[in-house]
Amino acid sequence: MIGTTTNLIRSATAILALLSNVRAAPTSYAYTGNGQCPQTNISNSEISKRAVAFDYNGNKVRGVNLGGWFVLEPWITPSIFGEWSSSNTVVDEYTYTKTLGKGEASSRLSNHWNTFITQGDFNAIAQAGLNHVRIPIGYWAVAPRDGDPYVQGQLDVLDQAINWARGAGLKVMLDLHGAPESQNGFDNSGKYGSIGWQQGNTVSETVTAIQNLANRYKGDTDVVTAIELLNEPLGPRLDMGGIQDFYNKGSQAVKSASSNFAVALHDAFSTDWSQFGGGVDNVILDTHQYQIFSPDEVGRSPSQHVSHACGLGPKLASTNKWIVVGEWSGAQTDCAKWLNGLGKGARYDGTFPDSRWTGECKGKNVGSVANLSSDDKKNIRSYIEAQLDAYEQHTG
């Protein structure tokens, strides 16, 4: 499982838990307390072992996302965007590099890439008992397009990171986090706003980026065990048939570089997980589980958050695929500064468009966990423990 916590390794987001196996689950499920969800009996008989350097069939994958490193997100690194906090003119990596120009952007980002995450962090991740890191990267790092303002140089640091992971005994999932013209309109795609992916040559350009990424690291499959073809394509706003076609072509590109890679496919926010991965060996389904991005979700009580998390356990346990909960969080509100985008409000306090007031964000939007109330700490801990329990109801 790969979750998203606010600060496990500095500001690098997310605890992760790569899981295996999911199908249909009840919409609610009883929670027994003390961070334990009811367990589902499972069998690995349908999943054969594959020739990948990590046994996703027999072992549980625990790790962390290194978000905000090679793809900027304002909520992860607010200090990088602070000088535009009033104007709201720089809201993502695209506008950041366009505003600064290539020379200044390259200088600032080079410093960021070389200091935000270090070898010491990889060692600390391993010492914490984790075994994977998921590293987001943008298409512009591996297949830049003429006319884009993005800058390059991050691959040299990524090369170092692969060696740091090797030295620490960690496995790496490389995640193409941004596609040309944005696959979801989120700032985490590199370009906030409209969704332009699937138009023009954007899909073929994305396949090229995947091919280049796989070719670069085909000699490192002892460490780089999986490549995720695309983070969070927004299925409800895209052509799902086109996503499936891209997944097929992207999988072929990865496998043509090395059959020792597993291929990770995000579920495109679909609940029908059976449609993904047919005919592909060593496929990992990636689902992201948050309960904060709608007014109804932030309106849930702490016990309802826990119950909903527990309800996912049987679904995860019943599939015949490897599956990763690639992102999740202990957050029960969307109050964190700039979580919904630079200058955007929160659903929890009703300041985000088309939302309603549930509570105050004061004390929940900035600062450290130490400053939270005792009730908030207790509720967040119970919610995290329930998710860990639910998301590990299958090996993988």
Active site residues: 232, 327
State how far the Cα of 177 lies from the Cα of 135, in Å rounded to an integer: 9
Three-state DSSP class for residue 4: strand
What distances in angstroms separate CA 145 from CA 94, 109, 151, 322, 383, one per listed residue?
A: 13, 19, 11, 34, 43
CA 149 – CA 165 distance, rounded (Å): 30
Residue 62 parent element (H or E): strand 61-65
* Cα 75 to Cα 60: distance, rounded to the nearest angstrom: 29
Q: Residue 265's beta-bridge partner residues?
A: 285
- Taking the C-alpha atoms of residue 317 and residue 312, their distance in angstroms, rounded to an integer, is 9
Query: DSSP secondary-structure letter at 294?
Result: S
Residue 186 token pair: 């989120």
The C-alpha atoms of residue 311 and residue 30 are separated, in whole angstroms, by 8
Q: Distances in Å between the alpha carbon of 260 and those of 53, 252, 283?
A: 7, 13, 11
Angle at 173 between CA 144 and CA 139, to 5 degrees: 10
Cα torsion for 225, 263, 392, 331, to the nearest 10°?
A: 100
How far apart are alpha carbons 95 and 89 in whole angstroms? Answer: 7
